[in-house]
Copies of this chain bind each other. A is one copy, B any other.
Amino acid sequence: MKLKIAVLAGDGIGPEVTREATQILKAVAEFGNHEFTFTEALIGGVAITANGTPLPQTTIDTCLESDAVLLGAVGDNKFNHLTPDKRPEAGLLQIRQELGGFANLRPSVAYPALAENSPLRPEVTKGADILFVRELLGGLYFGQPRWWNKEEGANGGGEAINTMRYTRDEVVRVARVAFELAQKRRKKLTSVDKANVLECSQLWRATVDSLKADYPDVTVEHQLVDSMAMHLMNIPRNFDVVLTENLFGDILSDESGVITGSLGMLPSATIGGKVNLYEPVHGSAPDIAGTGKANPLGAILTAAMVLRHSGGLEQEAQAIEVAVAKVLEAGHRTADISRGNTAANVTTQQMGKLVHQAL
């Protein structure tokens, strides 16, 4: 099969982890006689430096002409003084919008080999296998009006506003994705909101409830975001598919990184739009960029999601996931997953190579 992949390596550790992920994709292509092409384009801080904008039009064009977009990471402290609409992250938010994917899938799985690496007890993480479905195009991230006026406010000292906004249609489309995924998994859907305070959450909850009849085999439960932040740590095994609005999903999926043991392990795929967007959950981690300490497994598992959701290559996706598990079982560790008994013993590149060999 053919797959045109736009590669947006981005900032910090983005390029080094993306390189390992594309190596794996190339290996899969060669082995299966597929034709994957890779086109690189700029996003984030590197795009600001080169083009004065975090998302040049050429990048958008490249992405829209591709079958899948593989992103590394976006974010650079150098631009912290800029307002949100000018920062590297604005490029990420804009490409999400341009591509139109509204359902961000974030699996959070406990690998037996990494059990010692989690701050949670092994008996707590054991068997945990959660799939977050995070709404990605609504809520506080995109709601208007939004502003920071340095002269506004009671005493003219400054005032800022962000808007959380959801329509029923926006909730329906992402909730249906979550329901369908739950049907293919353990048939449990946990919807997260703050319905005891927020009108947006009441709309959210009512909409999810209104769809239940279409998925009679799925059990639905509602959790308030605050309790959920606690339950996720207490009994992660209790959750199957977890549906959240944008910001709640941002917070809870990062938190759930501790179930796996490291954010560096977590992949994500954003589906439902014109072109699917694939990005590891971790950030640009400028402090370790270029040191060989970055964990490429999040990006490599993201590549597996490319194969699954854009290539229809489920077997190949699983082969990558099995290879990653094997490498971990063999005791190989980057710095972020070296808590407990096992010391870090491989670099970003070496880890990539090991997965390649295990494939």
Contact: A194 with B119, CB < 8 Å? no
Query: By CB atoms of chain B within 10 A, which of A87, A153, A162, A250 has the most?
Result: A162
Residues 135-175 of chain A, each 1 if its beta carbon lies under 8 Å from chain B, else 0 = 00000110100111000111101111111111111001000
Q: Which of A24-32, A97-105, A251-259 contacts B (4 or more CB under 8 A)?
A: A251-259
A213 within 8 A of B: no
Q: Is the CB of A153 within 8 A of B124?
A: no
User: A177: CB under 8 A from chain B?
Assistant: no
Residue of B nearest to A146 (CB): B199
Interface-central residue, A160, A167, A227, by most chain B CB under 10 Å: A160
- Interface 0/1 of A237-267, CB less than 8 Å to B: 0000000000100111111011000010000
Q: Does A93 contact B (CB under 8 A)?
A: yes
B contact residues around A251 at 8 Å (CB) = 225-226, 229, 251
CA distance A143 to B148 in the complex (A): 15
Interface centre among A158, A200, A283 (most CB of B within 10 A): A158
CA–CA, A258 to B247, complex, Å?
Answer: 22
Given contacts A250-B226, A254-B230, A200 and B120 within 8 Å (CB-CB): no
Closest to A80 in B: B195
17 example contacts (A-B, Cβ-Cβ < 8 A) are as follows: A84-B202, A140-B164, A141-B197, A154-B167, A157-B167, A157-B168, A159-B166, A160-B200, A160-B204, A161-B199, A161-B200, A162-B198, A194-B247, A226-B253, A227-B283, A229-B251, A230-B258
**Seed contacts A119-B121, A225-B251; 9 additional CB < 8 Å A-B pairs:** A80-B195, A154-B169, A160-B203, A161-B163, A225-B250, A226-B250, A226-B254, A229-B254, A230-B255
Interface residues of A, Cβ cutoff 8 Å to B = 75, 80, 83-84, 87, 89, 93, 119-121, 124, 140-141, 143, 146-148, 152-155, 157-169, 172, 194-200, 202-204, 206-207, 225-227, 229-230, 233-235, 247, 250-255, 257-258, 263, 283
